[in-house]
Every structure is written in structure tokens, then in C-alpha cells.
Structure 1
Amino acid sequence: MSMTTPPGWYPDPGSPAIERWWDGTAWTGYTRAAGQPMVPVVPPAPPAAVTVPLPPVGERPPGRGRVVAVVVAAVVLVAAIVAGVALLRKDDSGPAAVAAPDQPTQAATSHGQSTVPAPSASPTDDPGVLVDQLNGITLPVMSGWEKPDSTVGGYPTMWTKETFDCPGDKGQFCHHAIVTSRTATATDLKTAEAIAKHDITDAADDAYDKDILGSRHYGGMVSHREVRSASVVVAGRTGYLVRWSVKTGAGAGGYVESLAFPSSVGSESMIIVRFAFDAGAGAVPPTGMDRITEGIRVIGGTQNGGVGSSVAPPAP
């Protein structure tokens, strides 16, 4: 029988340096620094007191009744502790079910990146919307794109439906374009500009150089040049983007972009949206990045929320 994980503070799947409030059914927008005292989980009430019948005083050894009562009380206490510990163990209905970003569980190829199964639960079945519930945003899924059954690195992902043989590895397939959304983990960087400029190198390496197994599906990244770097408004918040044109050892290369902006929920952690668009035949033009950026919205349609508000954390 599956048990539901109780509301409480748990490590944020996208940023180990913070904890995020789990309301019993979904992640919320509430966050805090890691290491603070956990909200206590109250174990189930112990069974009603057990009455142990004792023989008349003259027929029992001295102290026997006290020993029996102490043993029974100890058994009840141990049972309550075990039940409380079981509640703290997180099964597939709670925070432990969120895959760690860099621990893929299913080998596949997409811009040289491993993929993992997508979460089974989604706040919307609309095929035209990609939901990043952890960060409280939605992204538009353009015509010719899809939300896959597997995700890149465990992050919300969408990619073009059409695939082709990877130019540097004919035994694998690649998509013409891929977009992912995630929480920024560089806690020492505070501005959208600094985060975007820091992330773009990793984004380019992940998309066009080596995957985690060392494969070079595009023959490796040979060179790059910056083609755009600017402030941009995303979902009503001021963000920053950096876009590179990338040349690869095989194929026509492509474009990669890191877009950073603050979330509108919780502690307003920075969000990173990564774009990887191939060049050449069948390619999606880089202007598609701008169209997706313009279509990013806050879940619920307001600047302050929409994510898991059924049970809020207790006041400090």
C-alpha cells in the first residue's frame, strides 16, 4: 500500500542549496535556505491503552504486573516510532520521485544529451503548452514540436517531432531543435545577466560537444561566436539572454542560447531556459527562440503564483 508523503520542507530537486515546500500533493513555490529545522512530522496516535488482567495480589509474584505493563508500553512506543519513520520515507508519490537532474535512467540521444522518463503527472494535458511547475511557468509548444515521453536531464523538455541521423554518429538520432527549462544552481551569481553568461558554455557543450558518455554526435564543437546578448522581458520579469552560433566537426552546426530570468513564485529563484537549434536542412530558424520566449507565461496567469497552494508552510 502506497503512503502519501506528508507536507513539509524537502531538498529542492533543481537546487540542493535550498529546500522547497511539499504540500502533500505537489511542489509549491515556497522555498528557504537548506539546513533549517524540518517541520516535525507527527506519527500516528498510538493504540488505546492496553489493559493487562492480573491475578489477585496474593497469586502473583511481587513486581510482575509492573514488568508486564512496561513491556506492553515499550512495544506500543516502538510501533509508533516505526510508523512515524515510515511516513518520512518518500515513495513515488512524494519528493523522492523527482529525478536528480544529472542522473539519467534511460539512455537515448538528443543533441548529445541523455534523456530520462518524463514525470507522469502534469497540471495540463494541453499539447500546446509545456509546463515547468517547479518554476511556475509555461512555454508554448510550436507547430511541428512535441512534449516527449522522456526528458533531457530530467528537466521539462520539448523538441521537434522530426529527427535525423546525427552527423557525427550515424547510429544515433538527433532532433532539429530542443528547449529545456530548469532552476539555476549557481548560487553565487545573483543577476540574470551573470547567470546567462555563465550557463552558455555548459549549454553549448551539452548540445554540441560531448554527452555524459563521451560521444560526439556532431563531431565535437570546433568554434563559436556570440551573435546576440541582451536584456529581455520574460513573463513580466526582466531577464537576459546570450546566443552563440556554433560550428561543429560534422554537420552544419547550429545555435545555442541561455535565457535567464527570475521566477514569479516563492523566493524568485532564477530560471534558465536553454535553446539548441541546428542549422542546415530542416532547421528551425533562430527566430523561433524569440517566439518561444515571447510566449512564456506564469502558471495561473498572475505574477505571484499558481503553484501548489493547497497547503502553505507554517509561519516562521
Structure 2
Amino acid sequence: MTPPPGWYPDPHGPHLERWWDGTAWTEHRRAPEAPATPPPGGGTGRTKVVALTATGVVLVAAIVTGAVALGGGDGGGTEATTAPTSTVEPSPDSSEPTPEASASEPSADDPAIVEDQLNGITFPLLDGWVLPQYVAQDDVVMTTDGTYDCPGGVGVCRHGLVFSRTVTETDEKSPEALAKADIDAAADDAYDRDALGRELYGGVESHQQVKSGPVAVAGRAGYLVRWRVRTAKGPGGYVQSLVFPSSVGTESPVLVRYVFDAGQDGPPLADMDRITEGIRPFGDADTGGGVGSSIGPPD
């Protein structure tokens, strides 16, 4: 029996999930989401005003086996393809959907997107950006393709990262207040010291605010703050804290952090705005937003 359409472990990359359209594998892939552990307490030299707890979506376990179909002729062969068959048993206390219902089927005509199921939004996956693989930080939704040796002489760095988190440990609901409070921590986390205390860029030397103001995100009234950060080693970069109300659940504020290296190897700074403009609620491709859009009160 052929399994129904859904997300299943990719037979060619077990660390990814791949969309099965009911008859064949498509090219749509995503990283499995797993519960994230809140980082340990403590600071990096600057006061953290907003406490953020990273949470993940618990996906239903599926036991996946493969039926291998091979073809060939005249001594040659074709690539093996695996069709998933699964036995799905939701846990008794889980309200999460089964893999068949976890997402709508991607269309070959639609641009690539990244899903944040917890906050009910999707991000556009622009050229030069990929789903996160082997990334130590929590809540990363996309990175630039490839890595490089960090300017500080230790560790491996990426030219761009985008994070999506839910603000849960504060009663503050104002996107402006939350974005302004988070930007200092965003700069520290990106360019000062990592979780192991290493100065991957030689430490932060200075920063300059280059942009701030209200912004419409997925039809919601949000706020962003952007800094240019200069480091002791390397070209430094840009960080942005974007906050807007979620359109699902209790409408808890959603925090999206952007980290872009400066210099010719960094991603285009305009990608920050393009990604923001492309954020959509699940199932609502027509909801506009982004920098420069008119902003109304939250629903």
C-alpha cells in the first residue's frame, strides 16, 4: 500500500524530512523540529532585559521503512527511489497532527518556504539561503549556504542566520519595547561571545543603530530595530530584532532575529526586508506586510 502524502524521513538524508506526494518524492525538504532546551542563566557582559524561552514542536513519531524500486537496462541502472510506508501512532497526550496532516502539500509552482509551526507562520527561502543543518544554536529557521573559519581563529561561522522564537517569560506585549530591549542581546549573542565563551569575532567594539520603526508583518503591527556591529576581527555585521504578535494561540509576541555579516561575503542587506515582507500565516499566501506597508491595529 502506498502511504498518503506527508512529511517523512528523507531516505537520502536521514537528518531531513521530505515531502511524499502520495506517488513519488518531491524536492521539498525541511529540518525536523525537536524540543529545544532553554539556555543556562547568566549574561555576556550586557544586561539581558528580555528572557526568551525557546520551545519546539513535538512531532509524532513514525516508523518508516522503504520499498526500493530499481530500474535499468543494457547493463546500466537508474537511481534507487524509496517509497515510505509508515505506522503512525500518536502519543495519548499529544495534540500534534500526524505527519500526513502536519503541513499542506507544497506546490512545484510556489517559492520555497520555511515553516515555523509553533507560531503559525512561514518564511520565504531566498536564493543563497538553506534550511539549517548541524547548527548548534536554538531556533534557527534558515542560514546562508556554507560555512567559513571564524575571524577570531576559533570555530566555524556562517555569513547569515535567521532565528524565530516566542517571547514567553515577560508580561510585556509591546513589539516596540520588546524589540528595543532585545537588540543588545542580539548583538552580544551574534558577535561578542558564543555559548562556549569564545570570541569568534574578537569581541564587539561598537555598534550604531541604522534603522528602527513600525513594520507590518503577516498583517500584524510589529516593530524592528537594526544595528551595525563592529568587531575586533573581521568586517562585523548587522543584527535586527523584529517583534510582532502571533496570529495563533494566545497571540504571544514572536521575535525574529537576523544576523548578517557585513562585507562582500555577507548576504545582501536587502534580504532582511525581503524575508520580513515574505512572512505569512499558515494557509494565507495573500496576507501582505513588510517594511513600508501600511499598518493597522492587531485583529
TM-score, normalised via structure 2 length: 0.60
> Residues 168-179 of structure 1 correspond to what in structure 2 (within 5 A)?
168-169=152-153, 171-179=154-162
Larger mean CA deviation between 173-182 and 242-251 belongs to 173-182
How far does the alpha carbon of each residue in 1:163-202 deviate from its partner, in whole angstroms, 9 at most, with x for none?
A: 2211112x42211111010101342322000000011111
Poorly superposed stretches of 4+, deviation over 6 Å: 117-122
Contact 1:130 1:156 (8 Å CA) reproduced: no
Q: 1:238 to 1:206 in 2, by over 3 A?
A: same
The answer for unaligned runs of 5 or more in structure 1 is: 1-94, 104-116, 305-316
**Structure 1 residue aligned with 2:276:** 293
Contact 2:244 2:254 (8 Å CA) reproduced: yes
The 3-state SS of whatever aligns with 1:301 is coil
1:162 matched to 2:149? The reply is: no
**Structure 2 residue aligned with 1:99:** 36
**Structure 2 residue aligned with 1:221:** 204
Q: 1:233 to 1:166 in 2, by over 3 A?
A: same
Structure with the bigger percentage of helix: 1
The answer for unaligned runs of 5 or more in structure 2 is: 1-32, 41-55, 60-98, 288-299
AA of the residue aligned to 2:142? M
Larger mean CA deviation between 294-303 and 223-232 belongs to 294-303
Q: 1:100 to 1:240 in 2, by over 3 A?
A: same
> Structure 1 residue 302: deviation in Å?
8.0
**Structure 2 residue aligned with 1:153:** 137
Contact 2:152 2:202 (8 Å CA) reproduced: yes
The 3-state SS of whatever aligns with 1:195 is helix
> Structure 1 residue 284: deviation in Å?
1.2
Q: 1:303 to 1:281 in 2, by over 3 A?
A: closer
AA of the residue aligned to 1:102? P
> Residues 231-246 of structure 1 correspond to what in structure 2 (within 5 A)?
231-246=214-229
**Structure 1 residue aligned with 2:246:** 263
The 3-state SS of whatever aligns with 1:200 is helix
> Structure 1 residue 125: deviation in Å?
8.1
How far does the alpha carbon of each residue in 1:249-283 deviate from its partner, in whole angstroms, 9 at most, with x for none?
A: 10001000000000001111000000000011311
The 3-state SS of whatever aligns with 2:273 is helix
AA of the residue aligned to 2:182? D
> Structure 1 residue 160: deviation in Å?
0.5
**Structure 2 residue aligned with 1:86:** none
Aligned residues: 195
1:254 matched to 2:237? The reply is: yes
Contact 1:239 1:259 (8 Å CA) reproduced: yes
Q: Percent identity?
A: 52
TM-score, normalised via structure 1 length: 0.57
The 3-state SS of whatever aligns with 1:148 is coil
Q: Which has the higher contact order (CA 8 A, sep 6+)?
A: 1
CA distance in 1, matches of 2:127, 2:105: 16
CA distance in 2, matches of 1:188, 1:303: 31
CA distance in 2, matches of 1:136, 1:266: 9
Contact 1:140 1:295 (8 Å CA) reproduced: yes
Contact 1:193 1:241 (8 Å CA) reproduced: yes
> Structure 1 residue 147: deviation in Å?
0.5
CA distance in 1, matches of 2:202, 2:239: 16
> Structure 1 residue 124: deviation in Å?
6.5
1:131 matched to 2:68? The reply is: no
The 3-state SS of whatever aligns with 1:123 is coil
> Residues 12-31 of structure 1 correspond to what in structure 2 (within 5 A)?
none
Larger mean CA deviation between 292-301 and 185-194 belongs to 185-194
CA distance in 1, matches of 2:37, 2:147: 27
**Structure 1 residue aligned with 2:267:** 284
Contact 2:35 2:57 (8 Å CA) reproduced: no
**Structure 2 residue aligned with 1:206:** 189
CA distance in 1, matches of 2:57, 2:126: 19
How far does the alpha carbon of each residue in 1:57-116 deviate from its partner, in whole angstroms, 9 at most, with x for none?
A: xxxxxxxxxxxxxxxxxxxxxxxxxxxxxxxxxxxxxx9x6222427xxxxxxxxxxxxx
AA of the residue aligned to 1:211? D
The 3-state SS of whatever aligns with 1:291 is helix
Q: 1:215 to 1:185 in 2, by over 3 A?
A: same
CA distance in 2, matches of 1:118, 1:153: 16
